[in-house]
Structure 1
Amino acid sequence: MGISLRKRVLVTGGAGFLGSHLCRRLLDAGHDVLCVDNFFTGSKDNILELLDNPHFELIRHDVTFPLYVEVDQIYNLACPASPIHYQFDPVQTTKTSVHGAINMLGLAKRVKATILQASTSEVYGDPEIHPQTEEYWGRVNPIGIRACYDEGKRCAETLFFDYYRQHGLPIKVARIFNTYGPRMHPNDGRVVSNFIMQALRGEPITLFGDGNQTRSFCYVDDLIEGLIRLMETPKEVTGPINLGNPVEFTIRELAERVIELTSSSSKLVYQPLPQDDPKQRQPNIDLAEKTLGWKPTIQLNDGLEKTIAYFSKF
């Protein structure tokens, strides 16, 4: 690749599940990648084989403190994303979303970089409309146990759009729906990793509520493709844009698929639904299809097989 096409790309949260996949894709595309992580939920194991790549650099850093580097693009992925992890230290979770956004936006403004925010479907809360479109403002409990993550990400979106309006900063906001795949944390408490680990160990598979609440599961390779396409759009495309798989499954259906694919003897057990847990979550991706020419291509069974193969090593 010619020197003029090689970009210097910063990925915050780069040692996490999504970040480690994104770092690989960017290196494969011929860019210099600066991975920043404080290793609260990220793991050096996720990026171990990248450390010898001369175009990859790792910095241990917490985005709640300013960072002074020279880059062309910033993917801001830093934030614990599963309820177990973001509720462990809720004040720090909010600080990571809000102070982290302020610091990364300040960096982008100084170096004139395009910056992408990894926002979340959690900004929609427990939605009254289905499926969720980008125009929907959401239904979030601002004082509930999930608010540190939901409201932190909502405030980050506010900051991104204010920097865009006030400073003309080129921004991109992606609202990421449930994503799964290799390098998920095995103990992150999310349904895909939970179910696979329980099935592989022959333990009862825990369903909260009646198992009829729905989720839409996007395989990580599809999601990363969407993020990269969004980053490469013209300046006037800011988002927010939903990125996720519009095919909806009940939690019980997911559990049954996992049992089948692992040939497990696990049985289903039911527990009460956690506070503010959304009943339905499904993206409308019309905007992503029209603007990015993007839609997921990997079927749930194929993605689950790859993910099960990864978790089988634990």
Structure 2
Amino acid sequence: MSNVTADGERATSAGPVSRTLEFPGGSIQYFREGQGRPLLFLHAAGGAGVWHEFLERLSAGFDVVAPAHPGFGPSDELPEVEDIDDLVYHYIDVIDRLGLDRPHVVGGSFGGWVAAELAVAAPHKIGSLTLLGAVGLRIPEHPVTDLFFLKPHEIPPVLFSDLAKAAEMFPPGEPDIDTILAAYKDQTALARFGWVPFLNNPKLERRLKRITAPTLVAWAEKDALVPIEHGRRYAERIPGARFEVVDDCGHAMYFERPAEFADVVMGFLSGVSR
């Protein structure tokens, strides 16, 4: 059950209120919950429009803003946001319009790529950077697994180390039509931003030296989608970056081990705040 409030917010039976932000050609959906310094969370290719345990844990110490990227989940496909550069400037607009004063920026996988590009383009806009299993780099000897060519039954073991956890996100049996359409929408949006070249910007690595914010690069030990070498490369190229690995976990880290990854992120951010 849900109902729309007078100011366009959507109240849900669990979690925070879902809000919308208008842009030319449509709107995006976002959640906002918690108190303290602002934290902008940029989601992976999956999980758009979902308030999950990892975000709930972060909101215990921070003002968490979690938008759905244009074209993903409940957000509209904005015609002016055509590629990764446009997405970066979109989030600069989001930061300005929501009045987020140098937010901590936390990005997972595809969202980590966006977060890294944002920190390169506008280092003065962010207070810290956290990359969780981020794509975005081109390392030919350690390629990212191409999700577009995987069969449905091949996806869970690529994303999760614990297949019992995978079953919570990918329940057995045939998916219903709404699930199929939602997945198609997200994959279409992902292809729009990262098809060619595949989920990377060849220029990003040499630009990482522009990042001035304190940075945490956190990775899952058993990441079968984005090899851990990508995490090491990010940490090597970003000045002063800290690199941490969480054992016995797959790529969908904040779904598989939300408490552990929240502790890693909160520990880093508490140090930044001090």
Q: Identify whether the pair has TM-score above 0.5, normalized to the shorter chain.
A: no
Give the TM-score normalised by the residue count of structure 2: 0.38
Asked which structure has the greater CA Rg, the reply is: 1
